[in-house]
């Protein structure tokens, strides 16, 4: 048979077309997938779990593992960024529904502040721009240090920022080429499932693979144990109290622990007292004080204490008298009869714990319970107490801020360091004296130290820098972002191989 050049070209073209078709059937690249109808893709990708939410934890791990292997082999950095943009947009489009779901399910905090946190995580969580390659070049050639993924990450989320942590962790973990399996807080499993499904749909609609983000629908400590033990899980990230952090750090696997805080505020005599009062109220009343960074106790130098209290009362605070304070303690605290550890400490000998029903409730609910009508909107309750008071020592997560009057800065620093219980989480100081600020910052050594502003500035809310919902104090990574979830890989090109002799 005689074949002309045109015949040969025709055969080659047909073979190439067939191969291309097979490849797009098997491996949907970001570009190809983004041309397909989003609904159709979602159907194909959600065959196993429901958009990332699985009945069985082993399926959640397996699906995340398959997705990650596929992701790292077939998608470029710009594809990752397209998926992250889709997650940001989905969060902003669904923020009202998400915020309402969080409040309804967890019964903690304020709707407006859930919205603010969702906006913050959607817009200020770093993406792939966070991954910087380090390069050394010289006579001996070129060496680069790249940031590569771990693989599958097992992540645990708190009830206090359930959806916000899922969105924030997912963006950072996907940006760095990982997949993530969440063991969410059981008291927030519905809104968490909604968030995981929303994220999966967003990723798929941007041409990405299904199941980069998964969870088990009914999370328990046993499902967490399974995630931890799974050989596919290469890194653990825990956001919550000290019990969780301890459990993850005892696992034998690499773990990033973001634990509890009990952030103190110091106010000295050089501060702008009115500004200090406003900023303390802003931070301490935000989301009814359930944030780990929130101002939990104040140490104010005696000479300006009355001034501070006066300005706080003028800016949304109600001062509890001794009798009212005792009434609040009678319903919002309970004796630690079973000698168990809770809150910000593993100490089993604590005399009191906070009553769960009062955590994250608003200040007006406390006043209603006391039968007080203040005649104006109140954001925060304040009370003057001694250092040993349980409201100072507990991470109570209620809008009740204890104020301790101190002789001088030395006493303020000493007490604040003790009240922080060595968590090295967050501290604030209001002062115009740089030496004083430096003294307290050095003494307390917290992961976040905010000067002359509310705690919120420490996570990029009215302060510079990126945001995170996972502040890794115990393990030292600080305010986590994409680069935190990476492994360093050194790649060396030695000059000797090219030397001309």
CB of 395 to ligand NAD, least distance (A): 6
Asked if residue 154 lies in contact with residue 495, where contact means CB atoms within 8 angstroms, the answer is: no
Residue 20 beta carbon to ligand NAD: minimum distance, rounded to whole angstroms: 46
In angstroms, give the least distance from the CB of 207 to ligand NAD. Answer: 32
Six token digits for residue 385: 């107490």
The reply to whether 458 sits near ligand NAD by the rule CB under 6 A is no
DSSP strands (E only) in 45-192: 53-54, 134-138, 141-149, 152-156, 179-183
Is 49 or 240 the residue whose CB approaches ligand NAD more closely?
240
CB atoms within 10 A of CB 30: 19
Q: Which of 103, 118, 167, 258 binds ligand NAD (CB under 6 A)?
A: 258
**CB 478 → ligand NAD: shortest distance, Å?**
10
DSSP-derived letter for residue 491 is E
CB of 221 to ligand NAD, least distance (A): 5
Spatial contact of 192 and 162, defined as CB atoms under 8 Å apart = yes
SS3 449: strand
By the rule CB under 6 A, 470 interacts with ligand NAD: yes
CB 428, CB 454: distance < 8 Å: yes
Give me the residues paired with residue 489 across strands.
146
* Binding-residue pattern over the window 187 to 226 for ligand NAD, x denoting contact by CB under 6 A: ----------------------------------x--x--
Report the Cα–Cα distance between both ends of the chain, in Å, rounded. 54
Paired strand residues for 470: none
Give least dist CB 237 to ligand NAD, A. 10
Residues between 313 and 352 with contacts to ligand NAD, criterion CB under 6 A: 344
Using rule CB under 6 A, residue 236 touches ligand NAD: no
**Of 157 and 484, CB closest to ligand NAD:** 157
Q: Please choose, from the candidates 52, 168, 272, the residue with its C-alpha nearest in 3D space to the C-alpha of residue 484.
A: 168
Q: What kind and span of H or E run contains 410?
A: helix 409-419
Distance set, CA 460 to CA 119, 122, 126, 140, 476 (Å)? 12, 12, 12, 42, 19
Selected from 49, 127, 177, 241, the binder of ligand NAD by CB under 6 A is 241
Q: Does 471 bind ligand NAD (CB under 6 A)?
A: yes
Q: What's the rounded Cα separation, in Å, for the pair 303 and 309?
A: 12
Interface with ligand NAD: number of residues (CB under 6 A): 25
Tell me whether residue 186 or residue 374 sits nearer to ligand NAD (CB atom): 186
Shortest approach of ligand NAD to residue 248 CB, angstroms? Answer: 8
Residue in 179, 204, 256, 292 binding ligand NAD, rule: CB under 6 A: 292
Q: Is the Cβ of residue 63 or residue 216 nearer to ligand NAD in the bound state?
A: 216
Rounded to 10 degrees, what is the CA torsion of 208, 211, 212, 216? Answer: 160
Binding to ligand NAD, residues 390-429 (CB under 6 A):
395
The answer to whether residue 239 forms part of the interface with ligand NAD (CB under 6 A) is: yes
To the nearest whole angstrom, how small is the minimum distance from the Cβ of residue 189 to ligand NAD?
Answer: 10
Which pair of tokens denotes residue 465?
A: 């820098």
3-state secondary structure 79-102: HHHHHHHHHHHHHHHCHHHHHHHH
348 is written with which tokens? 């089993």
Q: Please give the structure tokens belonging to residue 473.
A: 């104090």
**Taking contact as CB under 6 A, which single stretch among the options 108-116, 205-213, 259-267, 483-491 is the one that binds ligand NAD?**
259-267
Q: Which residue's entry shows tokens 């967050």?
A: 426
What does the alpha-carbon distance between residue 492 and residue 488 come to, in Å, rounded to a whole number? 13
Stretch that binds ligand NAD, among 29-37, 104-112, 254-262, 449-457 (CB under 6 A): 254-262
156 lies in the binding site for ligand NAD (CB under 6 A): yes
Using CB atoms, what's the residue nearest to ligand NAD?
A: 240
State which H helix or E strand residue 400 sits in. strand 400-406
Residue from the set 46, 94, 160, 200 that interacts with ligand NAD by CB under 6 A: 160
Of the listed pieces 12-20, 132-140, 158-166, 295-303, which binds ligand NAD according to CB under 6 A?
158-166
Smallest separation, CB 115 to ligand NAD (Å): 18
Contact residues for ligand NAD, defined by CB under 6 A: 156-161, 185-186, 221, 224, 239-241, 243-244, 247, 258-261, 292, 344, 395, 470-471
């Amino acid at each position: 048979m005689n074949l002309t050049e045109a015949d040969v070209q025709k055969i080659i073209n047909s073979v190439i077309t067939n191969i291309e078709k097979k490849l797009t059937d098997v491996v949907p690249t970001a570009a190809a997938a983004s041309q397909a109808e989003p609904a159709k893709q979602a159907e194909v990708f959600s065959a196993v779990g429901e958009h990332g939410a699985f009945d069985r934890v082993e399926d959640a791990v397996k699906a995340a593992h398959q997705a990650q292997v596929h992701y790292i082999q077939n998608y470029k950095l710009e594809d990752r960024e397209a998926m992250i943009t889709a997650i940001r947009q989905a969060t902003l489009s669904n923020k009202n529904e998400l915020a309402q779901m969080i409040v309804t399910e967890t019964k903690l905090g304020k709707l407006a502040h859930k919205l603010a946190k969702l906006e913050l995580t959607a817009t200020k969580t770093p993406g792939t721009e966070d991954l910087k390659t380090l390069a050394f070049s010289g006579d001996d050639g070129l060496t680069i240090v790249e940031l590569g993924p771990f693989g599958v990450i097992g992540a645990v989320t708190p009830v206090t920022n359930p959806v916000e942590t899922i969105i924030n962790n997912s963006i950072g973990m996907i940006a760095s080429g990982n997949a993530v399996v969440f063991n969410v807080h059981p008291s927030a499993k519905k809104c968490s499932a909604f968030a995981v499904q929303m994220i999966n749909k967003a990723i798929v609609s941007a041409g990405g693979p299904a199941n980069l983000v998964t969870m088990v629908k009914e999370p328990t400590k046993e499902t967490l144990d399974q995630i931890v033990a799974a050989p596919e899980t290469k890194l653990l990230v825990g956001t919550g109290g000290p019990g969780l952090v301890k459990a993850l750090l005892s696992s034998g696997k690499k773990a990033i622990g973001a634990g509890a805080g009990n952030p103190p505020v110091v106010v000295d005599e050089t501060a702008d007292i009115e500004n200090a009062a406003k900023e303390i109220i802003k931070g301490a009343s935000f989301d009814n004080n359930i944030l780990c960074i929130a101002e939990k106790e104040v140490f104010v130098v005696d000479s300006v204490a009355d001034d501070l209290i006066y300005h706080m009362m003028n800016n949304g605070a109600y001062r509890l008298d001794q009798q009212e304070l005792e009434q609040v303690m009678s319903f919002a605290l309970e004796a630690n009869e079973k000698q168990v550890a809770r809150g910000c400490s593993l100490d089993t000998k604590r005399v009191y714990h906070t009553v769960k029903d009062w955590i994250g409730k608003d200040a007006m609910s406390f006043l209603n319970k006391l039968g007080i009508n203040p005649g104006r909107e109140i954001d925060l309750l304040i009370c003057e107490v001694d250092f040993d008071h349980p409201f100072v020592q507990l991470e109570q997560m209620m809008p009740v801020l204890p104020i301790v009057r101190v002789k001088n800065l030395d006493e303020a620093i000493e007490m604040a360091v003790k009240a922080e219980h060595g968590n090295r989480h967050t501290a604030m100081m209001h002062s115009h004296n740089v030496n004083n600020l430096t003294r307290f910052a050095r003494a307390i050594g917290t992961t976040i130290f905010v000067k002359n502003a509310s705690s919120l500035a420490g996570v990029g809310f009215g302060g510079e820098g990126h945001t995170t919902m996972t502040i890794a104090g115990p393990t030292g990574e600080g305010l986590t972002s994409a680069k935190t979830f990476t492994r360093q890989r050194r790649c060396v090109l030695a000059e000797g191989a090219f030397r001309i002799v």
